[in-house]
Amino acid sequence: MKFSSASPLRGRLNVPGDKSISHRSIMFGALARGTTEISNFLKGADCLSTISCFRAMGVDIEENQETILVHGKGLRGLKRPDQVLDCGNSGTTTRLISGILAAQDFDVTLTGDESIQKRPMKRIIDPLSLMGADIKSVRENGCAPLHITGAPLHGISYSTPVASAQVKSAILLAGLYADGETRVTEPARSRNHTELMLSSFGADVKTEGTTAVIRPARELYGQSIQVPGDISSAAFFLAAALLVPGSEILLKNVGINPTRDGVIRVFRQMGGQIEIVNRTTRAGEPAADLLVKSSRLHGTEVGGEIIPTLIDEIPVIAAAACFADGETVIRDAAELKVKESNRIQAMTENLQAMGADVRETEDGMIIRGGRPLHGADIQSRNDHRIAMTFAVAALASGQDVSIPQWDCVNISYPTFLEDMNSLINR
Ligand code: S3P
C-alpha cells in the first residue's frame, strides 16, 4: 500500500466496534444460558478467531448483516474440540480462553500464528497453575502451543507483576469456576471490560482499587450488547485530524471508558483540540462523539499509571510526537516489546527511516519533534497498529510512504482505508 496525500480530513465517521468488548461478548455469550445478541460487533480477524474457537467447542454462533447471535451453552456446556484451537494473531483470544479451558472437563491444545507463538504465556500459566490448572507450553518455552487439561480450580489472591487486562481476565474467568473467591491485584489499573461485562451477565464481581474480586458463578445470562466504537481505532483518525492542517472531524459513538481514554488525555495535554460531546452509555460503558480539529501540538511526558489506558495507542502517539514542537518522553511502556511485534523497535526504526529524531530507551522512546519527515518503505512487521500508524505518518508528512504487508490491518480494522478515504475525499 502506498500513501502520500495530505488533504484535510473532514466529515463524520462511525469507527468499528471495540475489539476487546467484541471478543468478550462472544466468550461470555457462549458461557451464558440463553441468547446473546451483539450489534456493532467488530468483524476483524482477531474476533473471528474467537468465534471459530467457540464454534469448534459446539457453540452455535449466527453471523447476520447487522448482528451476531450467540446461543449460549451455559458454564458447563462446551464440548471438546476435534482439532487444535487456532487463535490466529490474537493475544486476547489465547489468554482469555485459557482461563476458561483450565476449568473444563476435557483437554485441548491451542495455538496461533508465528507472532502468537512468540508471545509470553507464562504470565497466565503461573497464576492459573496456582489455581490448580494443568497447562503446559508444548515446546516448554513459555509460549503457545499450550496444552490445557481441565481440572478443578480453587480461588487465589494474586498480584500480577504487570498491568494486563488479558492476564487479569484469564484469572477472573477461571475464578468463575473456582471453589472460592479469586482476587487479582495489578500494579496499575488495566481495562475493566471483563469486570463490567461479567457483572451484567450476572456474575458476582467487584473492584476494590486496583484489585478485582470474583466469586464462583452458578449461571451467566445472555445479554443484548451494543458494542461502542473502538477508541484504539479512533486514535488513528484523532491523530490524523490533529496533524493535517485544516481538518475537522466528528468521530461518532466512541467508547471512552476511563481505563481506555488515555490517548484523549495525552493528545489534549499536547495541545490537541478534542471535544467530547453527546455522552451516552453503550453496553454499560461510557461512549461519546469526539469533535477533533487540527492543532499545533507540543511535546509531553507519558508514563506511570496512564500507560495501561493507552497501551495500544502508543505507536500513533509516538508518530504524532514527531510533528509536535519539543521533546516527548514515553516511559514505563516495556510491555510494548511483547505485543504483536516489538513496538518500541518497530516504531523507532520506521520513524528513523522517515528521518525523525527518535531514540529507543529501555521502556519507551524519546522523540524530538519538528524535523521534516521524508518518504520511506515501512516494515510493519505484520503488526496492524504499526501499519495504520504509518498511514497516519504519511498523511501528516505529505510524503510517499509504502507499507508492504498492509493486509495485517484486517486484524482490527478491515475497513480502515475506506473510512480514511471517506474523510479525505470530501
Ligand atoms: C486487551 C488488553 C491489552 C491490549 C490488547 C487487548 C484486552 O493487552 O494491548 O490489545 O482485550 O484485554 P494486555 O493485557 O497484554 O496489556
SS3 at position 404: coil
Atom of ligand 1 nearest to the CA of 20: 11
Please tell me the number of Cα atoms within 13 Å of 358 on its side-chain side.
28
The amino acid occupying position 12 is R
Instruction: Return binding residues for 3-phosphoshikimate.
Output: 19-20, 24, 164, 166, 312, 339
Residue nearest to atom 13 of ligand 1 (CA): 164
Find the 92 Cα to ligand 1 centroid distance in Å: 6
Find the 261 Cα to ligand 1 centroid distance in Å: 14
Find the 97 Cα to ligand 1 centroid distance in Å: 13
Distant-in-sequence, close-in-space partners of 13: CB < 8 Å, separation ≥ 6: 237, 249, 250, 251, 252, 419, 422, 423
Which of 24, 47, 164, 169 has most ligand 1 atoms within 8 Å of its beta carbon, as the pocket-test mutant? 164
User: Cell digits for 290?
Assistant: 469526539
pLDDT for the residue numbered 2: 79
Which of 18, 19, 20, 411 has most ligand 1 atoms within 8 Å of its beta carbon, as the pocket-test mutant? 20
Pocket-forming residues, ligand 1, beta carbon under 6 Å? 20, 91-92, 164-166, 169, 190-191, 311-312, 335
Peptide bond preceding 127 in cis form (omega within 30 of 0)? no
Residues of the chain whose pLDDT is less than 50? none
> In whole numbers, what is the pLDDT of the chain averaged over residues?
97
Contact 336, 311 (CB under 8 A): yes
pLDDT for the residue numbered 341: 98
Residue nearest to atom 16 of ligand 1 (CA): 164
CA 226 to chain centre: 18
Q: Sign of the CA dihedral 88, 307, 29, 65? A: negative
Closest CA to 243 of 321, 360, 181: 321
**Does pTM surpass 0.75?**
yes
Instruction: Return binding residues.
Output: 19-20, 24, 91, 119, 164, 166, 312, 339, 343, 385
Find the 168 Cα to ligand 1 centroid distance in Å: 10
- Per residue in 311-370, pLDDT tens? 999 999 999 999 999 999 999 999 999 999 999 999 999 999 999 999 999 999 999 999
pLDDT for the residue numbered 10: 97
Find the 52 Cα to ligand 1 centroid distance in Å: 20
Alpha carbons 74 and 166: distance in angstroms, whole number: 22
Contact 287, 229 (CB under 8 A): yes
SS3 at position 73: coil
Alpha carbons 78 and 74: distance in angstroms, whole number: 8
Which of 19, 27, 49, 190 has most ligand 1 atoms within 8 Å of its beta carbon, as the pocket-test mutant? 190
Find the 164 Cα to ligand 1 centroid distance in Å: 6
Closest CA to 366 of 412, 321, 324, 415: 321
Atom of ligand 1 nearest to the CA of 163: 16
Residue nearest to atom 9 of ligand 1 (CA): 312
List C-alpha distances in Å: 181 to 43, 125, 176, 222, 425: 35, 19, 9, 23, 55
Atom of ligand 1 nearest to the CA of 169: 12
Please tell me the number of Cα atoms within 13 Å of 347 on its side-chain side.
35
Residue whose cell numbers read 518500541: 344
Contact 217, 211 (CB under 8 A): no
What DSSP string describes 229-249?
BPHHHHHHHHHHHHHSTT-EE
Dihedral, CA atoms, 226, 184, 130, 105, nearest 10 degrees?
-20
Alpha carbons 395 and 188: distance in angstroms, whole number: 34
Atom of ligand 1 nearest to the CA of 166: 14
Closest CA to 197 of 14, 18, 412: 18
Alpha carbons 269 and 231: distance in angstroms, whole number: 17
Which run of H or E residues covers position 358? Answer: strand 357-361
Check if 312 is active-site. Answer: yes
Residue nearest to atom 4 of ligand 1 (CA): 312
pLDDT for the residue numbered 1: 78
Residue nearest to atom 15 of ligand 1 (CA): 164
From the list 18, 261, 312, 332, the catalytic residue is 312
